[in-house]
Structure formats: structure tokens, C-alpha cells
């Protein structure tokens, strides 16, 4: 079914302003990188420039499949979502990803780095190599679904 067809069930398309606001207040999602056997999916924290770019820190060490796939990718996807019992939102981004040289990452404003990231990034960066990657957004689609929570009477009628 299309989003329009699902509108009768409470689903709606998010407009550009809602998508931007959602990306601004969230800090985590799932990066999808192409492989021969389907996407390689990774949970990632991100920074957002408020317009068309996300930023990811990678711990690369001596080998990194994530970095190798990112460097080879001609396109990538990133899914940001929030799901609660009766409300959920998701934004699917497609675009390109590239490693930023160290000189560029040193000039990147702190507001564009992830607001939250796993402690492993900070800890590992003391002894392992890290890289900054930029995800340039080419396309974005957002949907949300808001339902009223069932009333007590509606919930208890199922028990009869």
C-alpha cells in the first residue's frame, strides 16, 4: 500500500520542515552500505548540519569493514526512527558517503559532530585510528503514525 492509501489508518507523509526537525532532535540511526549479499547494516550516532549532510565517526583500527564498504559505496542509506507504543516516526535518507580528510575534520564545527556517541568512540580514539565520514543527503522521505491510545473501556472489552 502507498502512504496515501495508509492515510486512513493514521499514517502520514512528513513535510520537509518536519523531516529536518526530526533529524535535528534525533542522534542515532541505522546506516546501510551495499554489499554483494545485501546491505551491511550498522547502528550509528550522527551529527546533522541542519540541511543536507550527516557526519559519522568511525573507529577503524587496522581493518574496518565499515570503512572499506563506505569508501567503495556509490550510494548508501540511513534510517532514523523513533517508535513508541502508539506513535512512531521514521526518515529514510539516501545519498553518498565519503571519508573527510583530517584537515577538514579539524575545522568541522562541534555542532556537526554527533551530540551523543558510544563511549567506545572516545575510548578507542586514544589508541586506534578514527575517521570522520560525511553522508550527503540526495533524497529524504519521512512518515509518521499517530494513534490515540485505546481507552480503558476499549482495552477491557477485549478481555470479555
Taking CA atoms, 38 is separated from 30, 56, 66, in Å, by 15, 22, 14
Q: What is residue 107's predicted lDDT score, i.e. its pLDDT?
A: 72
Q: Which residue has the cell 577503524?
A: 60
Confirm whether pTM is higher than 0.85: no
Q: For residue 156, tell me if it sits in a domain.
A: no
- Comparing C-alpha atoms, which of 101, 98, 104 is closest to residue 72? 98
Q: For residue 157, tell me if it sits in a domain.
A: no
* DSSP secondary structure code for residue 28 in this structure: E
Q: What is residue 109's predicted lDDT score, i.e. its pLDDT?
A: 66
Domain that holds residue 140: 3-146
CATH number at residue 69: 2.30.110.10
Q: For residue 20, tell me if it sits in a domain.
A: yes
> What are the backbone dihedrals phi and psi of residue 159, each rounded to the nearest 5 degrees, phi first?
-80, -10
Q: Are 45 and 97 in contact (CB under 8 A)?
A: no
C-alpha cell at 74: 556509490
Q: Could you tell me the sign of the dihedral formed by the alpha carbons of 12, 43, 111, 67, in that order?
A: negative
Q: Which residue has the cell 513508541?
A: 84
Q: For residue 158, tell me if it sits in a domain.
A: no
Q: For residue 90, tell me if it sits in a domain.
A: yes
- Please give the average pLDDT of every successive group of 10 residues along the chain, which has 160 residues: 66 94 94 95 93 90 88 96 88 96 72 61 60 95 79 52
* DSSP secondary structure code for residue 124 in this structure: H
* DSSP secondary structure code for residue 46 in this structure: -
Quote the number of domains for the chain: 1
Distance of CA 134 to the CA centre of its chain: 13
Q: For residue 57, tell me if it sits in a domain.
A: yes
How many angstroms separate the CA atoms of 134 and 107, rounded?
Answer: 14
Q: What is residue 62's predicted lDDT score, i.e. its pLDDT?
A: 76
Amino acid at each position: 500500500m502507498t502512504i496515501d492509501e495508509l492515510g486512513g489508518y493514521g499514517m502520514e507523509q512528513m513535510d520537509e520542515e518536519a523531516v529536518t526537525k526530526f533529524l535535528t532532535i534525533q542522534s542515532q540511526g541505522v546506516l546501510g552500505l551495499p554489499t554483494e549479499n545485501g546491505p551491511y547494516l550498522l547502528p550509528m550516532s550522527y551529527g546533522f548540519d541542519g540541511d543536507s549532510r550527516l557526519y559519522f565517526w568511525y573507529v577503524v583500527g587496522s581493518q574496518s569493514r565499515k570503512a572499506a564498504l563506505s569508501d567503495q559505496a556509490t550510494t548508501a542509506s540511513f534510517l532514523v526512527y523513533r517508535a513508541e507504543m502508539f506513535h512512531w516516526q521514521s526518515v529514510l535518507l539516501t545519498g553518498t558517503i565519503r571519508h573527510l580528510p583530517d584537515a577538514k575534520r579539524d575545522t568541522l564545527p562541534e555542532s556537526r559532530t554527533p551530540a551523543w556517541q558510544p563511549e567506545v568512540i572516545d575510548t578507542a580514539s586514544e589508541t586506534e585510528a578514527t575517521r570522520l565520514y560525511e553522508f550527503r543527503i540526495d533524497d529524504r522521505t519521512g512518515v509518521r503514525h499517530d494513534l490515540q491510545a485505546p481507552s480503558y473501556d476499549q482495552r477491557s472489552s477485549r478481555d470479555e
